Structure 1
Amino acid sequence: MQPLFIDLTSKKIVIAGGGRVAFRKAKTLEAERAHTTFVAPDFSDDIILLARQRGYKLIQREAQAADFKDALLSILATNDREANHALANSLDSGQLVCVVDEAGEGNVIFPAAVRRGPLQIAVTSNGASPKLTRKLKKQLDEQFDESWTGYSEFLGKCRDYIKKLSIPSSEKNEMLAELLDDRYRLSEDERERKWAYLQSLE
């Protein structure tokens, strides 16, 4: 499988299922600002609350293939293996489909992810060893602590600014490379001094 990062803003996501797993997938996607619909005969209290908070749509009945029309991402998370299997077989082969209880029936796997501002690191074993995936995520959580949040935001701000400067490309690349010095990650004061210096170059 090829890892991809996909912008789901304002895109249609349909989740078949109303229980714990469906809720967990929705929480993972909560920050994406997508148009999310749940389809299930019953919904957990957590899903009902999330739908009220986020404006998600709830359709209370068994999911049907037509429910997933025009969905960029379909998540089959019912607690019925046969239902998930039947839905997976009924969807268009060009759709993005995650089958939570049998990854091989879909074409999307949710990786374990570490997010620090704009920085995202994702890891998966493609189902070979979920325990390994969880272990690696824990290690990444520890390695990339919260200092990376402000630092990655700083890098993005500086890059946008440096790109607009009227200087040779070689100088821009040197400036961008210099920002990778660890002192900028470890010190907010260093970041502020650097930002002030860059603004003085106009």
Structure 2
Amino acid sequence: MQPLFINLTSQKIVIAGGGRIAFRKAKNLDGERAHITFVAPVFSDEIIPFAHQRGYELIQREAQPEDFKDAFLSILATNNRDTNQHLAKSLDPCQLVCVVDEAGEGNVVFPAAVRRGPLQIAVTSNGASPKLTRKLKKQLDEQFDESWTGYSEFLAKCREHIKKLSIQSAEKNGLLAELLDDRYRLSEDERESKWAYLNSLK
């Protein structure tokens, strides 16, 4: 499978299921500014207040193939293997589909992700070993601590500023390369000093 990062802003996401796994997938997607709809005969005590708070739609009945007709991303997370399989077979092969209990029936796998501001690091074993995936995520969480959040935001801000400078490409590349020095990650004072310097350039 080819790893991709996809912009889900304003896209329609339909989740079949109203339990723990459906809730966990929705939590992963929360913040993407997507339109999420849950379809299930019963919703957990977690999903109902979560959906109401976020403005997500709840349809209380068994999921049907028609529910996914216009979905950009479909997540099949019912607690019934036959239902998930039937829905997966009924969907357009051009749609993005995640089948939570049988990854091979869909074309999307949710990786374990570490997010530090604009920086995202994702890892998956494609179902071969979820335990390995969790282990690697834990290691990445420890390696990329919260210092990377401010640092990655700083890098994004600097890059946008440097792109607009009236200097040669080689000079821009030199400035961008220098920002990779670890002192800018470890010291807010260093970041502020560098930002002041960059703002002095024309």
Same fold (TM over 0.5): yes
The letter of the residue matching 2:158 is: C
Q: Per-residue displacement from partner, 1:127-157 (whole Å, max 9, x unpaired)?
A: 0011110010000000000000000000000
What is the Cα deviation at residue 190 of structure 1?
0.3
Alpha-carbon distance in structure 1 between the residues aligned to 2:40 and 2:142: 38
Residue type at the aligned position of 2:78 = T
TM-score normalised by structure 1 residue count: 0.99
Superimposed CA distance per residue, residues 174-193 of structure 1 (whole angstroms, 9 cap, x where no aligned partner): 00000000000000000000
Q: Which residue pairs with 1:187 in the alignment? A: 187
Q: Name the CA distance, whole Å, in 1 between partners of 2:132 and 2:59.
A: 36
Question: What is the aligned partner in structure 2 of residue 79 from structure 1?
Answer: 79
Alpha-carbon distance in structure 2 between the residues aligned to 1:54 and 1:3: 28
Is 2:146 the partner of 1:157?
no
Structure-1 separation of matches of 2:173 and 2:153: 18
Query: Percent identical across equivalent pairs?
Result: 83
Which SS does the other structure have where 2:31 is aligned? helix
Which residue of the partner structure matches residue 132 of structure 2?
132
Write the distance in 1 (CA, Å) between the matches of 2:49 and 2:33.
Answer: 17
Displacement of 1:70 in angstroms is 1.4
The CA deviation string for residues 74-119 of structure 1, in whole angstroms up to 9 with x for no partner, is 0000000000000000000000000000000000000000000000
In structure 2, the residue matched to 1:119 is 119
Give the number of aligned pairs.
202
Quote the Cα distance in structure 2 between the aligned partners of 1:53 and 1:199: 41
Q: Structure 1: how far apart are the matches of 2:68 and 2:91? A: 8
**Whole-Å separation in 2 of the counterparts to 1:70 and 1:59:** 15
What do you get for the CA RMSD once the two structures are aligned?
A: 0.4
Structure 1 moving runs of 4+ over 4 Å: none
Question: What whole-Å deviation, never above 9, does each CA across 1:22-76 have from its counterpart, x for those lacking one?
Answer: 0000000001010000000010111001111100000000000110011110000
Amino acid at match of 2:5: F
The amino acid across from 1:196 in the alignment is: A
Post-superposition shift, 1:14? Answer: 0.1
AA of the residue aligned to 1:96:
L
Matched, 1:46 2:46: yes
Counterpart AA for 1:100: V
- Quote the Cα distance in structure 1 between the aligned partners of 2:187 and 2:140: 21
What is the aligned partner in structure 1 of residue 29 from structure 2? 29
What pairs up with 1:84-123 in 2 under 5 angstroms? 84-123=84-123
Normalising by structure 2, report the TM-score.
0.99
1:55 aligns with 2:63: no
Shift of 1:169: 0.3
Aligned to 1:144: 144
